[in-house]
Structure 1
Amino acid sequence: MSEITHYKEVWSHRTPRTRLFMWMGWLGLVALFVWCWQLMTKNTIWAFVQDAPRQASDIGSRMWPPRLSYLPELMQPLWDTINIATIGTIGGVIMAVPIAFMAARNTTPSATILRPIALFIIVASRSINALIWALLLVAIIGPGLLAGIIAIALRSIGFVGKLLYEAIEETDVRQVEAIAATGASEAQILNYGIVPQVMPAFWGISVFRWDINIRESTILGLVGAGGIGLKLQSSLNVLAWPQVTVILLLILATVVFSEWVSAKVRHAII
């Protein structure tokens, strides 16, 4: 009588081949990390790195206590910074709205010509940092608030345009079809079927971008685009560390306040 051998199957989350590929993938990532680390630190002077804690402690001791008497001089630059962010955001939103409608599949007048152009504008705007826009504009139109405002606006086009055109594409098709079934024109379909659906997203995106622009506009002065960054740059140049502390604390308070305003407005809208 032959013996019957029973084999007990053992469940495994992954097959041996999958585990092998995963280990090879992790090994490749480790090798890539080591190679990138060597490439980045090739010219690093490690004596400076070892001395960094002492230097940081020395600068920190010079930054305290902050020179609070310097605070009144920062009110006008702070107001300029807020204006740069606000006006730049408004300009960016105004330019981003038609671009978003041209980029959305369900609202673009031409999917073969206008949509690729709109998508290219969105990508180009998002790929260039506001600081780089400011550098270019300062070289073109000179230093001042105008360069900062335009830099913020150009940077905002890509952010607002991308999120808005995605919101347009996610609109409920049934509402649009219901309005179209009444014999409405394309303009009426857009006005009554799509715009009401994207308005909450539009206001939320705009306020969120304004909050981001408050932060970005604080450093545009480092390249001559106006605002409180000019004061920060001048204080750093003369090593006035107590003044730098006051500026940094003021920037922190402004960002916290803008975050609070942004959260309240988004909560009220959405």
Structure 2
Amino acid sequence: MPIEQNADGLKVWQKRNRREQFTHWASWFIGVAVFVVCWQQISESTTWFFVWDAPRIAGDILTRATPPKWEYITQLGEPIWDTLNIATLGTLLALFLAVPTAFLAARNTTPSKTFIRPLALLIIVSTRSINSLIWALLLIAIIGPGVFAGILAIAIRSIGFCAKLLYEAIEEIDHKQVEAITATGASRWQVMAYGIVPQIMPAFAGVAVFRWDINIRESTVLGLVGAGGIGLQLSSSLNVLAWPQVSLILIVILFAVVLSEWVSAKVRGAII
């Protein structure tokens, strides 16, 4: 904490010296200026009449959407099942590809830190940087609409997420166990199987369940772009303004998400 002397020669304790105070207030000034400029840009491109009229529109839609069309539930069994399959199979495929990618990216298991590790990190970053909806749009253009495109979109999106957490877990293992197994004359694969894999299994299980929980949420909207699942029913109902059907679909999606959250919480609790 800086100390300064006033005109009488008395020492005064201050939280910041003059340079730090100037930097602090300059940062606030720059932040406020940036906020004002951004707000001005947003205001110029916003039709404020629709914003002020939004509560009335929302109330009108809510009135049209209630009560939900409960008899429509019979047509949602297969779409919600497709959504669960997209999330589950996409997660399994992602884990199948993420595990070797993680071992190639970890500093203590990669065969080459110069060539192979940067390539593995590039795969992790590139798959994580693009949203699953964009992957779905690209895959639909390549292989056509349907559940298979949704599975691949979820899988590609999940590879980077799972591989990043797994390679960090690999780098944080207890190296004493690895050294002990290596000292017995074990091969590289035996060291990996008996010294590394048992240490990362809890992290692997936690990542798998957590990512599956996330993919349940993401797979519910992939149908909006034609990748199958209950999102396709939601898109069809929105196109014809069938608001009672929309409200029922949203209830089903909410129930599926809550159920997946409960399952993942139970599994993570059992693992921990």
CA distance in 2, matches of 1:117, 1:201: 23
2:18 to 16, 22, 26: 16
- In the alignment, does 2:18 pair up with 1:35? no
- In the alignment, does 2:131 pair up with 1:129? yes
CA distance in 1, matches of 2:202, 2:56: 51
Pairwise CA RMSD of aligned residues? 1.4
Aligned to 1:3: none
DSSP-derived class of the 1:44 partner? coil
CA distance in 1, matches of 2:18, 2:190: 60
- In the alignment, does 2:78 pair up with 1:83? no
Count of aligned pairs? 266
1:264 to 240, 245, 266: 266
CA distance in 2, matches of 1:64, 1:32: 43
Aligned to 1:223: 225
Q: Which moved more, 1:29-38 or 1:107-116?
A: 29-38
Per the TM alignment, residue 39 of structure 1 is displaced from its structure 2 partner at its CA by 2.4
CA distance in 2, matches of 1:67, 1:60: 13
Aligned to 1:201: 203
DSSP-derived class of the 2:37 partner? helix
Per the TM alignment, residue 191 of structure 1 is displaced from its structure 2 partner at its CA by 1.2
1:169 to 165, 168, 171: 171
Per the TM alignment, residue 8 of structure 1 is displaced from its structure 2 partner at its CA by 4.4
CA distance in 2, matches of 1:32, 1:173: 48
The amino acid of 1:189's aligned partner reads: V
DSSP-derived class of the 2:162 partner? helix
The correspondence of residues 48-63 of structure 1 with structure 2, limited to 5 A, is 48-63=50-65
DSSP-derived class of the 2:15 partner? coil
CA distance in 1, matches of 2:17, 2:240: 64
Aligned to 1:116: 118
DSSP-derived class of the 2:13 partner? coil
CA distance in 1, matches of 2:226, 2:232: 7
Aligned to 2:5: none
CA distance in 2, matches of 1:46, 1:40: 11
Per the TM alignment, residue 233 of structure 1 is displaced from its structure 2 partner at its CA by 0.3
The amino acid of 2:171's aligned partner reads: E
Given the two structures, how large is their TM-score scaled by the length of structure 1?
Answer: 0.95
1:153 to 148, 152, 155: 155
Aligned to 2:241: 239
CA deviations 1:18-48 (Å, max 9, x no partner) are 1210111111111112222222332211111
* Percent identity of paired positions between Structure 1 and Structure 2: 65
CA distance in 1, matches of 2:229, 2:71: 19
The amino acid of 2:129's aligned partner reads: S
- In the alignment, does 2:93 pair up with 1:68? no
CA distance in 2, matches of 1:20, 1:133: 47
Given the two structures, how large is their TM-score scaled by the length of structure 2?
Answer: 0.95
Q: Which moved more, 1:246-255 or 1:29-38?
A: 29-38
Per the TM alignment, residue 7 of structure 1 is displaced from its structure 2 partner at its CA by 4.9
Aligned to 1:185: 187
DSSP-derived class of the 1:218 partner? helix
